[in-house]
Chain A
């Protein structure tokens, strides 16, 4: 008996969760040390989706680097485009006309809805509520159809331009979108009937992954992940950009900073985004969609390029050399992307290409907090915690 005892050892079980795991939302890899079902240590590994986007941008002009930004947070490409364009506008010292600002605000909020819908669906699916996922995807499909109607692309939109937007919105699009905003709050209620008061859902989310306000700030969290802890920080309110200064909306905040509060925050943001979109449609001013002083940042219309010599040369120069008059200097510009604060930092050496483009991606910051949330909890909570910080690995790895 004694010998048997001496040979028996207990040690932690190390399991590799991801990069191919249904609940890691892409290619996040977590190495978990388990004591039974309890997580003793959690180590995230990132970089499986690294494409060197920041470096790629250095070899592209300010115009042609834009499509790269679609591939950061590919669920909310519109918001990325907007963030990039605002940073470039700030660098060049131009401002988009009002109509373009409203349109950009509108589509950014649409992408926030689409991003939160995807988050809700996958988060609920991870926790086991399968139906929410398919309900959510019904509305996501609707939004993507609207995007397609607007600019021909569903995911990688590249719709915003430095100095405005690519094309004007049609009345047909606005009507469809308005109809969507009529219907959408009812759909949000539908999601809530499934999980909001569900006892299993409450047990799985309340008191799980708690992070206090001051700690959340110290970790550099932003967006709904931060607001769930009760910090009312929202770039749209603190440094309004585009048309956010002209529309009314509330910033929902949580109290305890657990998975449930973050869930409530995002559910409330559905309604606020809906509200913003409605206001944008109602207030949409007439006028140009491209700043008059931004011709060097936009391609001439395709018809002209095919017909007139002048435009073709213009097009050629823009694509190959880029805008020549980029002022020297550095600029940081941030927006409130669906996941959190998305910042673009440019260093310009006066050529047509960025000397350095650095992206402050919320997903990258949020991925780092996962071990803090997971350690000491159960395996099932790891899933809830990955869902609640809402990371997209395309943005995290870039």
Chain B
């Protein structure tokens, strides 16, 4: 039965209504997250600015509030330079892959009880899959630019994401074991009986591993090796300009928000808080989100950059064994209790 036939069937009002609701939900989530991405850059510049005894953006609008919009307009009207020797189809498609992979993950995140675009049973797996796909964007961008610096950035990114993907995936296994589900809404609900309504304490090691892996996964400092500006200038996107560069930027910040959201859902109790805030069911979720995003910035302002081999050591020799240990301990505790 195709879409048109379905719409013609009796009772199709419900069907069309559902579709309309989903479309509206998608637009709302997309709009809200894009706004968050734009202002995440502003928040980052302000936070790090004040940490570094300076003011951050101050010129566009009061206290630079319109800076993200000005940046967006600027990027939009910049010349789109494509290197002559680049592999053009791949070059075009790489930023799109990054962005699409990041945005698609939004579909499964429950912002508050009952508000999720696609309430699928393998939500967690879906997010992990999408974040792996996102790294293709980076690798292909590095390769297709036909520049040695981009190429090195792409290679570093491939190695880094493969290593940290494993640690991240393993750290989430404990959560799956405790909640008995991979549906993100179920995971949040399963946490209600735990201290503070969070998996944070029973899964402390996993949370630790997850937090570190996520920073590496999203290429943020101190794991920003693929784009280390002092070594590879800008790494994989050095040849990109204008809005194509902007797409990478949006993808990076969206990925940050996604990963923080998964952290909130899996370890910090999702939309539940110590008390209910009336009329704004998403308040706790977003408060936690801002807190985590702030922590990202805080870390960036504090720590130097890891070296490539140290990064690998940390991933393979510390984080993966820790995550495995966590699975074993969680399993034993679960069987005994």
Write the residues of chain A forming the contact surface with B, with a CB cutoff of 8 angstroms.
13, 15, 21-23, 34, 37, 124-131, 133-135, 138, 194-195, 198, 200-201, 203-204, 378-383
B50-80 residues at the A interface, CB under 8 angstroms? 51-54
Min Cβ gap B58→A in Å is 16
Which A residues are CB-close (under 8 A) to B303? 128-129, 198, 200
Whether, in the assembled complex, B88 has its beta carbon less than 8 Å from a beta carbon of chain A, the answer is no
Q: Which of A124, A378, A382 contacts B308 (CB 8 A)?
A: A378
A383 contacts across to B, CB distance below 8 A:
230-231
Find out whether the CB atom of B307 lies under 8 angstroms from the CB atom of A204: yes
B229 interfacial contact with A, CB 8 Å:
yes
Assess A201 versus B304: contact at CB under 8 Å? Given A128-B222, A380-B228. yes
Once A22-B233, A23-B230 are accepted as A-B contacts, the answer to whether A134 and B52 lie under 8 Å apart by CB is yes
How many whole Å from B278's CB to the nearest CB in chain A? 40
9 contacts between A and B (CB under 8 A): A125-B230, A126-B230, A128-B221, A128-B304, A130-B52, A133-B52, A135-B52, A200-B306, A204-B305
Q: What is the minimal beta-carbon distance from A210 to any residue of chain B, in angstroms?
A: 16
CA distance A21 to B52 in the complex (A): 24
Judging by beta carbons under 8 Å apart, are B221 and A134 in contact?
A: no
**B residues less than 8 Å from A23 (CB atoms):** 230-231
Nearest chain B CB to A182 CB, angstrom units: 19
Check B309 for interface membership: any CB of A closer than 8 A: yes
Of B224, B228, B302, which contacts A194 at CB under 8 A? B302
CB of A13 within 8 A of CB of B148, answer yes
| B152 interface hit (Cβ, 8 Å) | yes
* Shortest CB distance A378–B (Å): 6
Task: Tell me whether B300 is interfacial, beta carbon within 8 Å.
Answer: yes
* A194 CA / B300 CA spacing, docked (Å): 12
Residue B310 CB within 8 A of the other chain: yes
Across the interface, name the chain B residue whose C-beta is closest to A132.
Answer: B304
Q: Given the complex, which residues of B lie within 8 Å of A133, measured CB to CB?
A: 52
Residue of B nearest to A128 (CB): B305
The listed residue with most B CB atoms (<10 A of its CB), out of A124, A382, A383, is: A383
- Name the distance in Å between B311's Cβ and chain A's nearest Cβ: 10
- CB–CB A195/B304 < 8 A: yes
B233 in contact with A21 (CB, 8 Å)? yes
A residues near B156, Cβ cutoff 8 Å: 37
B304 touches A124 (CB 8 A): yes
| Inter-subunit contact B309/A134 (CB<8 Å) | no
The count of chain B contact residues (Cβ–Cβ below 8 Å) is: 31
Which residue of chain A lies nearest to B54 when distances are taken between CB atoms in the complex? A134
* Interface of chain A, main secondary structure: helix
Q: Which residues of A contact B48 (CB under 8 A)?
A: 130-131
A120 → B minimal CB distance (Å) = 13
CB under 8 Å from chain A, chain B span 144-176: 148-149, 151-152, 156
Answer yes or no: B325 CB below 8 A from chain A CBs. no
B96 CB within 8 Å of chain A: no
Residue of A nearest to B156 (CB): A37
B100 on the A face (CB < 8 A): no
Q: Which of B53, B151, B228, B230 has the most CB of A within 10 A?
A: B230
B117 beta carbon closer than 8 Å to chain A: no
Interface contact A37-B230, CB-CB below 8 Å: no
| Smallest beta-carbon distance A134→chain B, Å | 4
Complex CA distance for A200 and B311, rounded to whole angstroms:
10
Contact B308 A127 (CB under 8 A): no
A371-B52 Cα distance, complex, nearest whole Å = 34
- Could you tell me the distance between the alpha carbons of A19 and B48 in the complex, rounded to whole angstroms? 29
User: Does B301 interact with chain A (Cβ within 8 Å)?
Assistant: yes
User: Assuming A134-B54, A135-B52, is B304 touching A379 (CB within 8 A)?
Assistant: no
**Are A127 and B304 touching (Cβ within 8 A)?**
yes
> Could you tell me the distance in whole angstroms from the C-beta of B211 to the nearest C-beta in chain A?
16
Identify A379's interface contact among B151, B222, B231, CB under 8 A: B231
Bound-state CA distance A125–B229 (Å) is 10
Knowing that A23-B230, A37-B152, A378-B308 are A-B contacts, what are 13 other residue pairs whose CB atoms are under 8 Å apart, sorted by A's residue number? A15-B152, A22-B229, A124-B304, A125-B230, A128-B306, A129-B304, A130-B48, A130-B221, A200-B306, A203-B307, A204-B310, A378-B309, A382-B231
Instruction: Tell me whether B307 and A380 are in contact (CB under 8 A).
Output: yes
Q: How long is the Cα–Cα vector from A37 to B231 in the complex, in angstroms?
A: 11
Using CB atoms, name the residue of chain A closest to B147.
A15
Complex formed: what's the CA distance from A124 to B148 in Å? Answer: 25
Which residues of B from 36 to 52 have beta carbons under 8 Å from A? 48, 51-52
Select from chain A the residue with minimum beta-carbon distance to B305: A128
Is the CB–CB distance between B148 and A15 below 8 Å? yes
Q: Which residues from chain B contact A200 at a C-beta distance below 8 Å?
A: 222, 303-306, 310
